Structure 1
Amino acid sequence: MRVDVADIEAEEGAVNAASRMQTTAGRLARLGFADGARAERLLDELGPEAVGDLDLLADLIAAADPDLALTSLNRLVERDPSVLGTFRTDPGLRHRMIAVFGLSAALGDHAVRHPEQLHLPEERLSAREELLYAVGADAELPEPVAGLPVPAAMDALRAVYRGHLLQLAGRDVTGEITFAETAAELAELAGSALEAGLAIARAEVPDSGDVRLAVIGMGKCGARELNYISDVDVIFVAEPKDDVDETRALQIATRLAQALMRACSSTTPEGSLWEVDANLRPEGKLGPLIRTLDSHLAYYRRWAKTWEFQALLKARPVAGDLELGGAYVEAVNAMVWQAAARDNFVEDVQAMRRRVEAHVRVNEAERQIKLGPGGLRDIEFAVQLLQLVHGRSDPLLHRRATLSALAALSRGGYVGRDDAKALAEAYTFLRQVEHLIQLHRLRRTHVVPSDVADLRRIGRGLGMATDPVGQFTTTWKRHALEVRRLHEKLFYRPLLQAAARLPSEETRLSTTAAHARLEALGYADPSGALRHISALTSGVSRRAAIQRTLLPVMLGWFADAPDPDAGLLGFRQISDKLGATPWYLRLLRDETAVAEQLARLLGTSRYITGLLLHAPDAVAMLGSASDLAVRPVEALLAETATAVARHGSDAETAVAGVRALRRRELFRTACADLAGYIDIEAVGQSLSALNDVTIQGALDAATNKIAVERRGEFPTRIAVIAMGRLGGFESSYSSDADVMFVHSPLPGAEEKDATDAAHAVAEELRRLLSLPAPDPPLGIDAGLRPEGRQGPLVRTLSSYRAYYDRWSSHWEAQALLRARFCAGDLALGLEFVDLIDPIRYPADGISAEAVLQIRKLKARMEAERLPRGADPALHTKLGRGGLSDVEWVAQLLQLRHAGRVPALRTTTTLNTLRAAVEADLLDPGDETTLADAWRFASRVRDAIMLVRGRAADSIPGLVKERALISRTLGYPPDGSEDFIDDYRRATRRARLVVERVFYED
């Protein structure tokens, strides 16, 4: 193919032109534009002067998002070509505006709509004056809008406000003013807008001059630390003027406040400012919008909660009648600084924390810079709580803004200088990030975006030119972790210095301040707590050094537990036993989860603390959930057999080993229970199996001893039959072991000799398990045997058969429903079960007369067995709808139907109810109601034992004990009344089912 020279030259020219174009676009891309070709086109549209303006190009390249900045500039110049000339003569203005355009699409849009706002007069009015003049009001003495329609005034308010926001953002993002100055100016700008909104409101509301109305800024507005876009929290206070009737004045003031809120919050062609939120007022949304000063004070004196006083830390008059507003703030301040001395202060604080955490969406928690872990609220909450605690005696802490309050806390020695500096840096960083996120679209958000382009804009906005995404993410996470760490240390480190007088560069807390801090955290005995802290941390030993590292965090975990004082005391006691053991402190120091779980367990359960004091090595189990898994019965039996065999005929030593194993496994089960790893049915199964193993070990030890004493072959086989809750695999932490003993003489043995030997073993077993020991006792109760306590302790299988054939009563048949083999000779145990099956599961069921007798017996028990003074609605065992009620329903179903329904032949209550549903003997809804009440009562009964360390069947009447039990059951600190209501409701419903199913045919 022939190629013409002219064609080659034309092609070369096209290639060179394309290369030049690509070079320009590529250069712009390398300079920071995401789309170099588009950037080149937009620059060309600005004209040749702009293309050659290297200073303009430098400002664009320096913007957080050069493409966004160029887009807004291009639109602005299209609207007002004179802007480029203004920028050339005022490079400072150009620098500020392009920096804003590179961060905020919303303010760029505003500049395009109002280019005249870029041309600022040299002698400019204040924001307050300009906003008031814009809406047609007198800046010296704001009067109703004169001659300007309300819609036009509202548009003017928004336009001028955004203009001031644009100029303020320009000084902010270029570093001309600090973050604190920016936040303060934003708050003042909001206050001015509220004043202008009030002027608009006065034009709408007749007779507005008859009332004095003060607008109290709350939250960040009151503290002069406002965001770019945020709800503005306010409280309204009003007083009538002259002789105006108070009721009429409050009506006028209410209309004024409502009109003010509309003036600022409603949307017009110019958009809206922000929501005016008055929900921090007394009674919140349910309370009147307007109150007089006396009405406010009466409410705060009688009804206000701690969180309301915490909110009032920020109160400041911002608009309206500033004299009235000042009187309000002065009056409430006297109450604010006494809030920490109020009853239930700690519970209120904990409730505040829960409300804060509840606002965080799970899928946003890690990106929330306000409410997420290590976020702004962690800092603000800590600072405000310390202010409330120590501000009672130190007026220097009476500051509204977070940073100034933090500085005062540091100067007063309540927070270390380095800690205060680190928190201030983190707070400033997080607030700057918050501003950058909100500036983009002027939307109220606290969630860090996940889009890379957004992250890049934020990073560059913070001055991170190299790898802005990575650098920003790393810095943010570092600050969040530091905030979380300091949040814990901030509360607790000074306590160590006050108690142990540790050398430190930080100022130490006085004893009075330490007491106040501990009381605020929930320690009922701060003097005792300080003694424990001192004992643990004093000295120069390695142990004391590690404790000084551990305790700042653990004190917080104790404070979060139901009983902080008991937790700290238990920790001291266990540390005294194990403190010199190398692995113990190393485990707590290196395994945070272990230390936290230990603190919560010790602060929740005296039962667990008691177990640990005598088996402190069990702390090692807290390393993981798998370590708390219930062990198989086979493994426990093997370990028990080894312990017994090791000691031969030394029964007491052998059983001491068996009881040590039981103590360890009780700890394992209790920890798994409180951690929520197992439910109440699994707890009952675990405890019952552990009791079986313990009885087997004691039986083996007793048999070995009696065999040695008899100096011959043991003459009989023995089996232990579990009864009651043990037989039903429903043992609680406080349950005795209801049992019966059966034996069968070996061939050739005399029955009397065999019976004497079996009786000796049974008595020895009971003696061994009742010996004083450092573990919870396992009482052996044989009262359900034939003839009760008047009958022989041990019978042969044939004796049981003869008794049941001749004398068995209905209540004995009912008791046998729980009978199962639990220890000793398995074959004999199964023979016994075969013997009693026809008695407890009669083929044709029990007669109508027998049913009537059982119902009468149940009614008599209800009338006679409930302890004197016990509340029938709160007794978990014998109370209405409690354990006994549900169990009797299940047992009557078995006696009547188990002969023909094999699935009912179970010793377990809940399995019986399930089987009854399957056999169409019980309505599924009734089964659910009964089972729920049984589980609830069982959980409460166990919780009482875990919390108090001693058994009780009634829910205690003391408020503190109820609170501890409800916390253990998963209710919040202020949820004890909810707990009681829930229990009453569950058992009341169960009782209705009992009365219908048990007492009616």
Structure 2
Amino acid sequence: MSLPPLVDLPAILLPFVTRAEQSLRDAVEALDDDHGLSTWTPERWAQFSRVTAASDFVTEQSVRDPLMLLELVRSGELDRGYAPGELCAQIAAAVNAAETDEQLGRALRRQRARHQVRIVWRDLTRQADLVQTCRDLSDMADASIDQAYQWLYARHCQQFGVPTGRRSGEPQQMVVLGMGKLGAVELNLSSDIDLIFAYPEGGETVGVKRPLDNQEFFIRLGQRLIKALDPMTVDGFVFRVDMRLRPYGSSGALVLSFNALEQYYQDQGRDWERYAMIKSRVVAGDQVAGAQLQEMLRPFVYRRYLDFSAIEALRTMKQLIQQEVRRKGMADNIKLGSGGIREVEFIAQAFQLIHGGRDLSLQQRPLLKVLSTLEGQGYLPPAVISELREGYEFLRYTEHAIQAIADRQTQMLPDSAQDQARIAFMLGFADWPAFHERLMYWRGRVAWHFAQVIADPDEEQGAENEVVVGGEWLPLWEEAQDEEAACRQLQEGGFADATQALKALASLRGSPQLRAMQRLGRERLDAFIPRLLAQAVEHANPDLVLERVLPLVEAVARRSAYLVLLTENPGALRRLLTLCAASPWIAEQITRFPLLLDELLNEGRLFKPPLAPELAAELRERLTRIPEDDLEQQMEALRHFKLAHRLRVAASEIAGSLPLMKVSDYLTWLAEAILEQVLALAWRQTVAKYGTPLRTDGTLCDPGFIIVGYGKVGGLELGHGSDLDLVFIHDGDPQAETDGPKSIDGAQFFTRLGQRIIHLLTAQTNSGQLYEVDMRLRPSGASGLLVSSLGAFARYQENEAWTWEHQALVRARVLVGSDDVGRAFEQVRAAILGKARDLPTLRQEVSEMRAKMRDNLGSKSTAAGTGANAFEATVPFDLKQDAGGIVDIEFMVQYAALAWSETYPPLLRWTDNIRILEELEKAGLMPVEDASLLREAYKAYRSAAHRQALQKNAGVIPGDQFADERRQVMRIWRELGLS
């Protein structure tokens, strides 16, 4: 945000300026050399007036060391930002000139005073915005800590020897972690610094007669470092150092090894320590070892699952803070009070702790960047983010104004009229009431948004009338009433079989998973079940809801954070019950993969899956956040992406917001987006191992490879749970060697590339497999090469392929891969499908193949739908394989494409049955009524098949359904001469 324009100096502040100007002139006159103020312009004096009217600190430092201020003016440093490394270089030069610890402390304090004056000056004259001011302050802290550490470490080693790792034998350096605002590069004008000291491994010092244990060496070094920075001397202080965030707080060792830190956080780490560790950053010492330490601690901070327990922890922390605020009368504290800075931080960090283990974009430190990510990733609406951002920036500017007055670490609004006038003046307001009104507006908005994210759902009724949601069901769950009363309550709630429902709850209560739960998990379950029952009875069939949701509850009982998710989000629980009631397939998916519960949080996103370009872009972005060498995480990300978007499509289909054709489109786009990334991943891995293959003209393949989709994926007709019929084709030189150190010929390379793709698609991980893959449609089927060259593919199709393989080619299209190879494949496909054919022979071969399929796959009891009893309600109708069903329509379309493409090429343009039927109608090759009938019957059959799949039923329905459609499809079959 931008602050209001600068305002004129109010009269109440004029005495500050008069006194500061006179004091500065006196101090400059006392200098022995010929420095003076004669070169100062009116603009410079105006700046001086503005700054000293607001800041006693700048006045005091300028009068105490006028040469420092004059040098800042002469060098132009008050009027420009520093280049990268410039601030550090200045501090390093001053530190390197020191010869004793005392001289080190003096050099650091004088540098701090100099840079603090510059930073306050630029802040109050609006030459630096909030981000620049915080960055300069943090850079000053980083440089002060690191330069002091390096200076002290060298002398410490001379005195006590070089600390050396017992296991590695390598010299050891300390790692200094900056926490809180320092870690996030968000220091305020008078912030203390929260630090944690660590060292890589145990051992002892070498090079001295009496070696020290590494820990003792680093404890003494840490004490010297704190002494260099923290104490107040005649020269002031550098930074107040707070070490209480280390393990065990003030009673813990000052420095711990990496292993000891990891063990502590794994065994004893508390929620507030996770919150603190989000912003940790290596600010001094060994940066390489520090990066390793942060990687070791990442699993403690960011859980791999959705961790809604974080909200409980933040809520508890906020309650403790509020109690302290009330106890100490700190309502005017703009950091800790209601609607203060801490509440914005809590909102951002709640999402980081909950989702950051899976969404790596949230694993960052600066709050403003986290807010932008929350907006970009759809966690919060843009309007909410805008208010949080503006409110936070206003509060931080206010914090800086409060601290600029006297360089005091406080966030309390001042009581005196003069200081109140100063605050209003610094932020561009005419007077205190105008400023205070704006401040309270932003605090009110922040407090409101905080309540939406962090507030306890049980407090919705208001503090005067608190009612626990679902509380009326708690006695039943806790067995505090007899069985008869429990059954009566369930019956009154709408359960048809109250006895069975009670038995199911008892079975859950006695399950091994629940008996093994720890106390906290059991408390979460006890809070959740009454909510579940309260919402279940709102459904038309609560028995069905309970039957389908209790297995999920049992599955996640040991990971009770999922129960917290549903407890904290009544809307998500409502959507879960609705979807599970509608589809046992969805219930099973969520039970198998509870991470899908995350998708229920955002109703708008759940029922509005993205279009193809957005889908592909989202997956690309997600994978770019994962290191290229982390195959396990890449595979998990691909699988989670597929599971999440498949759930969105199913939910949209159930809600009626996505018609059948769009369902298949989305599922096909999803497969294509995944295949694009799988091919890229497999290509990188194969090239890294063997080098790049060559084309016949000697150029490098890039990749010279395509994945062709047949069947449902080729025809854009994927359903829930469909496998992928794929064929791999390359255009490389099979004989030429790859250009890597471990070279192989092109044929081997592309075979291994194909094997890698299949492995990535089919390997079972914690999140299942991506897709089942069927490669039997490749040339020569299961006995043929896994990957064909384009030439070999063309020769096979021309000379060896059966008619049924040409039928399959009708539905074949390039899914992903090289554009030039894709175009060449389309030419081969068009040439094969567009050949002149003997129609009687074609009809006979298509009919014979269809007869074989009916015999092998159709309903036996009705002779595959051709028997006299085929239309009776008591017999089955196989939607796909029986006469008059899906395959009959597909075969007719394929027959027509093969029969007439030579004279009507537009039939080759499409691979889906609906549009080919439209082309047949346009060309007059099929009567309008018949083409329309086949299209509508085809969509109706597929829609029924989708419904069956969502109900976890086979694609078989009673024989009396679709009777008219089936008879008409069979009639058209006969009229085409197929039998």
Please state which band the TM-score falls in when normalised by the shorter chain. Answer: 0.3 to 0.5
Bigger proportion of residues as helix: 1
TM-score scaled by length of structure 1: 0.43
Larger radius of gyration: 1
TM-score scaled by length of structure 2: 0.44
